[in-house]
Copies of this chain bind each other. A is one copy, B any other.
Amino acid sequence: MLAVNAADYPWLILVPRRAGASEIADLGADAFPLMAEIALVSLTLKDVTQCDKINVAALGNMVPQLHVHIVARCKTDPLWPNSVFGAPPPRADDAQVFARFVATMREKLGAVEPA
Contact = CB atoms under 8 A, between A and B. Distances in A.
Contacts of A109: none
Per assembly, the copies of the chain total 2
Interface string A33-64: 01110111011001000000111111111100
B54 A23 contact: yes
Contacts of A60: 53, 55
Contacts of A25: 39-40, 42-43, 54
A57 B54 contact: no
Interface majority SS (helix, strand, loop, mixed), chain A: mixed
5 tightest A-B CB contacts, nearest first = A86-B86, A83-B86, A61-B81, A83-B85, A57-B57
23 contacts: A23-B42, A24-B38, A24-B54, A25-B39, A27-B39, A31-B39, A32-B32, A32-B35, A35-B35, A53-B59, A53-B61, A55-B58, A55-B59, A55-B60, A56-B57, A56-B58, A56-B59, A59-B83, A79-B86, A83-B83, A83-B85, A84-B86, A86-B86
